[in-house]
Amino acid sequence: MKRSAFWRRAAGLAAAFCLLAGGLAGVAAEDRTFADIDGHWARSDVQALAGLHYVAGMPDGLFHPNETMRLEQFVTIIVRSRYGDQAPTGAGWASGYLDLALQQGVLDSIDIAVGARPLKRGDAARIAALSLQRLYGEEAENDVSPADRLTDFPNCHTCRVHISDVYTKGVMTGRPGFIFDSEGLLTRAEGCAVIVRMLYPERRILPPPAEDGATDDAAETDAADALITPELVREIQQTDPAAVVVDVRNQDERDKGYIPGSILIPLAVLKETGAAQLTDKEAVVVVYCQSGGRSAQAKEFLEGLGYLRVYDMGGIGRWPYELTDNS
């Protein structure tokens, strides 16, 4: 019952907010882009906001998607999408946007003083949740049971409420293994993706709903066994330079197309060499194959060798993005 009710509500919300998102600023979208987002996982999100004049890039004409987003940048895009451009009201280029967000109850006074700081994911969740409620009139999510699977909530009730809201709505996704990583920093690309999901509910990435009667032990088992989503794989590739995506198929299969940035270690080679090419056992390792069987074996094998953060994406057919080939 909980599963069906949750998804029915999500579908209804998406339909209702399509109209809102389309008329937020009354500006027709343009095909604007930046040279440094070609091939980037967040290209469509950055383009969507740039086409509506919500983002304009950096002074050098690039976007710098992998740099850390600042609190003032995140708030400026959100306020601009709702109220348009704001003139400075004090010191700092973003003062008008920050002051308006403070007036609307989206920010606290302390945020004004530290607007230039790098934005943590927990703070982004708070700002996004309050913006949805107080700027766009979207109600807080009543059934946040899907967020119960997150294993790293901070010791702060209000923080938990905000994180649960945006996670359950699919505005912010977690990290592999049902980790939210509230202390982690948000990149400019990730910030744009969050805002696009705020404005366009049909682009939200809903988490799997919690099942009735699920125990904590079952949730931990789900976290260990769940396949990582292709969306998270792309985010990891862009934000974690130590992460490795491993194709455990054979060379002839790989020649027909593979995930950009992945390396080839056929399963047989992986088992024969003891994963000699993967030297960091604490780094994120994502494995995939043709249909999911070999990737599951690879995950089990690597974990048996002591690798701490191995995630299985399953078969390459789950990858909805462009593939690279050797032609």
Q: State residue 94's pLDDT score.
A: 94
- A 10 A CB-CB count for 221 gives 12
Per-residue pLDDT of the chain (327 residues; tens, 9 = 90+): 333 344 444 444 443 333 333 333 333 445 567 999 988 888 999 999 999 999 988 889 999 998 999 999 999 999 999 999 999 999 899 999 999 999 999 999 999 988 899 999 999 999 999 999 999 999 999 899 999 888 888 889 999 999 999 999 999 998 766 888 898 889 999 999 999 999 999 999 888 766 544 444 444 444 444 688 899 899 899 888 889 999 999 999 999 999 999 999 999 999 888 788 899 888 899 999 998 889 988 998 998 888 888 999 999 999 999 999 876
Separation CA 18–CA 180 (nearest Å): 27
C-alpha distances in Å from residue 92, one per residue of 72, 79, 89, 116, 123:
10, 16, 8, 10, 21
Q: State residue 82's pLDDT score.
A: 95
- A 10 A CB-CB count for 278 gives 19
Instruction: Answer whether CATH 3.40.250.10 is correct for domain 227-318.
Output: yes
- Name the CA radius of gyration of the chain, rounded: 21
Q: State residue 273's pLDDT score.
A: 87
Domain residue limits, the chain: 2-216, 227-318
What are the pLDDT digits (tens) for 240-258? 888 999 999 999 999 999 9
Q: State residue 26's pLDDT score.
A: 36
Separation CA 12–CA 45 (nearest Å): 23
C-alpha distances in Å from residue 315, one per residue of 143, 265, 324:
32, 15, 16
